[in-house]
Amino acid sequence: MDQIGKYEVLDKIGSGGFAVVYKGYDPFIKRPVAIKVCYSRDAETRERFNREAQIAGRLVHRNITAIYDFGLHDQNPYLVEEYLPGEDLAHMIRRREPETLLEKLEYLLQIADGLGYAHSQNVIHRDIKPSNIRILNNGRVKIMDFGTAKLANVESNLTQTGMTLGTVAYLSPERLLGKPSGTNSDIFSYGVLAYELLSFRRPFAGHNIPNLIDQVLNATPVPLQESWPQCPESLAVMVHRCLTKDPAERYASCQELSHALEQVRKEHCAFTPEPPAEPPVADRTQMRLTGLLEHARELQSRGKLQRAEVLLDEVLEIDPGNTEARELLAASPAAELEGTATIATPTGGATHGPNKAMWEEPADRRRRKIGEAVTVVEQFVEAGELVRATEALKFATEFLGPFVEASALKRRIVEALRLDVTTARESGMKEARHMVAAMADLRGRNLLPIEVARNLVERIGELDPDDIAGRHILAALHQDANQRRPEVDDADRTRKKQDAIDSIERLLAGGDPATAEKALRFAVRLFGEFDQIPQLEQRISQALRESQG
């Protein structure tokens, strides 16, 4: 796909069991984004996806992934969050990346800071593990994936679906036992992560989930210094305290945890690196221009010419004399579609066709873009694609600002929507009348079961909420059924009595008169006296005498 909502889709960067993640671009704020789209139809999975947006969206912290937006695309919910260039901590651990103690402590401190902030907002993450920790290219740590998170004061009825070895290994004992869990459950998971980051091995291992659960519940991890001899004693004590089975014996908060880590860093690291200085304003502007130009070249290479033109326009707004932006505009095949009118150039000469985009005045460019936007919206309206027309008009007014034609276009869309609603209602009422007539015909021929009628009435209500004829037919069916109930009950009693007589006959034919006698007495108690009793009693007595000799 090329677009999700207002966001340009640049590339697919990952996928899982229920979602796909794309690299995107926000054309208004001019920044890259990550777009996670949920394709699952499972209600609980979608609820978890929505929960991530609701909970993570309220968290604003340098070590937590920022949520920008949430919406629906083709009936699939999508989440827009900050784009995080870098890699997951799980990948670094698998490569056994030889970070220094200082670097590892810095990662652990940042994770504790982000987790502590979430806890201060009454949010429990519930899925802390290396694959949910992102290490950016500049060393910044980001906690990701709040899909299984819950508010500390609200019970969640979401289950942990799709449990794998990679998930169970980080769950606290109380979570595995189904007991109430709080922020100290996250601290246990943090301890598992810290043990693995420091030693490149997990404290609990198993070849299957039952074995792994048994280890988490009952086994004591190998001392960290045996797995990593260089580990400072104070750091090992800190990690093993996080891994205690009793939640009350763990750290009471991430703030206590951070304090312990700071002490380790102070005692065992010679210095603490200072944050990099903020680049001068001129350098930041040049970095911005370079990024815009690179993105524009990428879009042109993929044939996304209009989107590239938008970015090049932005470059020229920042730096009107930018030669590279002008050359890219002039070289774009899109320029050839703009006609061959003669345009005066700054040098006093004239140019034609492809060079028009290079020398077009900003006001002329805006008028041209407004014309293009009006054409696109009108085409959508004429084709009956009113949702797309609305989106295109909104995009145009947000990007170009207010313009005179926008009001007329909005009126056209509203009028078309009104006509669509009227047409749909008339069509629905007509279909509802047909369904009512069909129901009446089936009822007249005794061919309409009550359950079928109930479903039809619900459908009729959707088509025409004011129609009551279908409900009258359903009520009449219930009345018919009540009137026929005695007849149905009598027929059912007769059938069951005949089944009992047939069973007695089979027992006699099979040479079991004693059981036949018991069955007859049971039938008399159940159905009372009936015509066949004397004959059956006589046959049973004869069969009993014959069996006795």
Q: Spot the catalytic one: 127, 313, 464, 467.
A: 127
88 as an active site residue: the answer is: no
Residue 129 to residue 456: CA distance in whole angstroms: 51
Burial class (CB in 10 A: 0-12, 13-18, 19+), 526: exposed
Report the first-to-last Cα separation within the chain, whole angstroms.
90
Q: Which of 273, 120, 137, 115 is nearest to 186 (CA)?
A: 115
Residue 235 to residue 237: CA distance in whole angstroms: 5
Strand 31-38 to 76-82 pairing: antiparallel
SS3 percent helix, strand, coil of the chain, rounded to 5, is 60, 10, 30
Q: Tell me the CA distances in angstroms from 190 to 151, 223, 237, one per residue in order.
A: 18, 17, 14
Contacts 24+ apart (CB under 8 A), 505-509: 508/539, 508/540, 508/543
Using only the alpha carbons of the chain, give its radius of gyration.
37
Residue 89 to residue 114: CA distance in whole angstroms: 15
Residue with tokens 């996928």: 15
Q: What residues does 37 pair with on adjacent strands?
A: 20, 78
Residues recorded for the chain? 549
Active site residues: 127
